[in-house]
Amino acid sequence: MILNSITIANKEILPLIEGGKGINISTGLTSGLWANCGGAGTFSGVNPDFYDENGNYVKPIFNGKSRQERQKELIDYGIRGCLDQAKIAHEQSNGNGLVFMNILWEQGGAQELLTNVLERAKGTIKAISCGAGMPFKLAEICAKNKVFYNPIISSARALQLLWKRSYCKFKEWIGAVIYEDPWLAGGHNGLSNTDDPLTPEKPMSRLLEIRKFMNEVGLKSVPIIVAGGIWWLSEWLDYIDNKELGPIGFQFGTRPMVTQESPLAMEVKQKLLNVEKGGVKLQKFSPTGLYSSAVENKFLKELENQLTRQIPFVEIQDKGIGFDIPVELTANKKTVYINQGDKDRLNKFINDGYTSILKTPSNTLLFVNNERYNNIMTGMRDCVGCLSSCLFSAWTQREGMTIQPDPRSFCIQKSLQNISHTNDAENNLLFSGQIVYRFKEDPFYKNGTFIPTIKELFEQIKTGY
């Protein structure tokens, strides 16, 4: 298949990009090798692995007593990790490839991390791809360091807002605009309040709107990168060399997870190779409050199941409306009251072993077993402030803001570290795009027995099939 090149950050490349995947799933190694094939590779700057002087992985240890202190340690580890991964990517791409770093704007200490890394990683990172939140300050920090930025957006409206408030002042540093399909892409999804999670829209109309706006503001030659749901390029012929869309590239997130160089354990790769159609859930359990797409495994099923074990409560007994059944909260032994009508459900939950009782911010009581309760409590206690604010632990780095912890969520830092460092694909969050079921159908993977190298995958994608 003939693929015309595009230019990003002053470099001509094939229009194929490896998307950033945290934590530590797209790395210096994978992104550098991808860039070396002639595309652009993105390593994740979200708490990436770092190494000692002998090149051995260092497991981060947190000594801080408070969450603020631990967040400081996390940011320092993050900076070390980004610098290590940038160096590896640079070497793997023979010092010549197009390497991006991805951060989430809502990750804890994002601005401090970005400023430090860009000042110290000169010449290795060519652009920052960044979404999850409204990264107004991204443009200024990148421009100051003479590094390009690739905003990740899911609608023209989001780009317009970013543009008006900030990006119009730093327009020459926009490398590409990444359109991440909010229904199909793996990881966190940018569904807005007006998007129906159950009614996906085809990307074409949104892309045309984005291009129209970009043309109006003088970004005609800046490529748009489409991300989400891309498998065979032969299925995207309408988009390739489409004059109205202008220069366009394709970002792959899920496919590079199953390569020889992907850091995931073989058990995790096998899980991905065997997902059936419909096996990925678009749900809202993430402590960021965003929608996200992940493989339905034991972990996700438990989060879904526990939603059915909730009972509304009041703090003060109110016999008039029937809220007079006392229930003791597990953590502080305080008594609250549920309705007479929920007595049978209460008894059933207790008899089934869901004897630990927690409050949620929706004025319900959540019933979990002891194991899950201990997990929730240690997760909240050990919080290292990986997000700017977290629905699960109620941590926030924003002064004056308070949140009530929500035990229906989970510690995403712990779970994503586990998925990239252990072989447990069942009891952790396994982000993936909706298209993951294609692994099983695509003859390239020989019924799950063939795992390509990055180079083999890149060459295969170039064929269009």
Q: How many residues bind ligand FMN (CB under 6 A)?
A: 28
- 435 contacts 200 by C-beta, under 8 angstroms: no
Q: Could you give the CA distance from residue 240 to residue 245 in angstroms, rounded to a whole number? A: 9
Closest distance of CB 193 from ligand SF4, Å: 23
Q: Which of residues 268-297 bind ligand SF4 (CB under 6 A)?
A: 287
Q: Is 252 in the site for ligand FMN (CB under 6 A)?
A: yes
User: Which one among 15, 22, 151, 223 touches ligand FMN, defined by CB under 6 A?
Assistant: 22
Q: Which two tokens stand for residue 338?
A: 């549920």
Residue placing its CB nearer to ligand SF4 in the complex, 42 or 417: 417
Total of residues contacting ligand SF4 (CB under 6 A): 14
Sign of CA dihedral 429, 275, 290, 314: negative
Is there a contact between 43 and 37 (Cβ–Cβ < 8 Å)? no
Could you say which of ligand FMN, ligand SF4, none residue 287 binds, taking C-beta under 5 to 8 angstroms by partner kind? ligand SF4
**Measured between alpha carbons, how far is 377 from 12 in angstroms, rounded to an integer?**
50
Q: Is 388 in the site for ligand FMN (CB under 6 A)?
A: no
Q: 252 or 354: whose CB is closer to ligand FMN?
A: 252
**Collapsing DSSP states into helix, strand and coil, what is residue 443?**
helix
One of 167, 173, 252, 395 touching ligand SF4 (CB under 6 A): 395
Binding residues for ligand FMN restricted to 28-87, rule: CB under 6 A: 44, 46
Q: Rounded to the nearest whole angstrom, what is the least distance from the CB of residue 336 to ligand SF4 in the complex? A: 24
Q: Given candidates 36, 93, 102, 393, which one binds ligand SF4 under the rule CB under 6 A?
A: 393
User: Judged by CB under 6 A, does residue 433 bind ligand FMN?
Assistant: yes
Minimum CB distance to ligand SF4, residue 424 (Å): 18
CA distance 84 to 51: 7
Q: Is 122 left (phi over 0), alpha (psi -120 to 50) or beta?
A: beta
**Encoded tokens for 412:** 């995403």
Q: Pattern 357-386, binding to ligand SF4, x per CB under 6 A?
A: ----------------------x---xxxx
Q: Which of 339, 334, 370 is nearest to 352 (CA)?
A: 370
Beta strand 310-314 pairing with 364-368:
antiparallel
Tell me how far apart the alpha carbons of residues 330 and 372 are, in angstroms, rounded to a whole number. Answer: 13
Helix 67-92 / helix 28-36 crossing angle, nearest 10 deg: 30
Residue 439 interaction partner, one of ligand FMN, ligand SF4, none, beta carbon < 5-8 Å per kind: none
302 residue type, one letter? E
Buried/exposed code over 258-293 (b: 16+ C-beta within 10 A; e: otherwise): bbebbbbbeebbbbbbebeeebbbbbebbbbebbbb
When asked if residue 152 is in the footprint of ligand FMN (CB under 6 A), the reply is: yes
Q: Does 411 help bind ligand SF4 (rule: CB under 6 A)?
A: yes
Peptide bond into 125 cis (omega under 30): no
Q: What does the alpha-carbon distance between residue 42 and residue 152 come to, in Å, rounded to a whole number?
A: 13
Nearer to ligand SF4, 14 or 384 (CB): 384
Closer to ligand FMN by CB, 22 or 109: give it: 22
Count other Cβ atoms within 10 Å, centred on residue 420: 22
Residue 2, token pair as written in the block: 């003939």
Q: Which does 207 bind (CB under 5 to 8 A by kind): ligand SF4, ligand FMN, none?
A: none
Pick the stretch among 49-57, 68-76, 401-409, 430-438 that binds ligand FMN (CB under 6 A). Answer: 430-438
The answer to whether 406 contacts ligand FMN (rule: CB under 6 A) is no
Task: Name the binder of 385 from ligand SF4, ligand FMN, none, CB < 5-8 A by kind.
Answer: ligand SF4
Residues forming contacts to ligand SF4 in the complex (CB under 6 A) are 287, 379, 383-387, 390, 392-393, 395, 411-413
Residues forming contacts to ligand FMN in the complex (CB under 6 A) are 19-22, 25, 44, 46, 102, 104, 131, 152, 180, 184-187, 227-230, 251-254, 431-433, 435
